[in-house]
Amino acid sequence: MEFRLAPAGDATEVTWAMHGPSPYLAKLAGIFMNMDRMIGHDFEAGLANLKAKAEKAA
């Protein structure tokens, strides 16, 4: 998992990505399934939690 934080004016742009080997079946499923739709809400919830914790710590 990779997090990139970059200044963006008064805010911070966060990029969250997952990298690694993908088994054949996962690659095949990725052709027929929209992975953004399947796990996108999990990424959004994680980023919202990260934002809340960062603002609370500041």
Question: For residue 36, is it within any domain?
Answer: yes
In a domain, 11, yes or no: no
| Domain extent at residue 31 | 23-58
Within a domain: 15: no
Q: Does any domain span residue 46?
A: yes
Structure-block tokens of residue 35: 């992975």
- Give domain status of residue 40, yes or no: yes
Residue 5, in any domain of the structure: no
- The DSSP line for 9-51 is TTEEEEEEE------HHHHHHHHHS-HHHHHHHHHHHHHHHHH
- Helix count and strand count (H, E) for the chain: 2, 2
Cα–Cα distance measured from residue 32 to residue 38, given in angstroms and rounded to the nearest whole number: 12
| pLDDT tens-place string over residues 9-55 | 988 888 878 788 888 888 888 788 887 888 889 888 988 998 899 88
In three-state secondary structure terms, 55 is helix
Assess if residue 13 is contained within a domain. no
Query: pTM of the entire structure?
Result: 0.54
Say how many domains are in the chain.
1
| pLDDT value at 5 more than 80 | yes
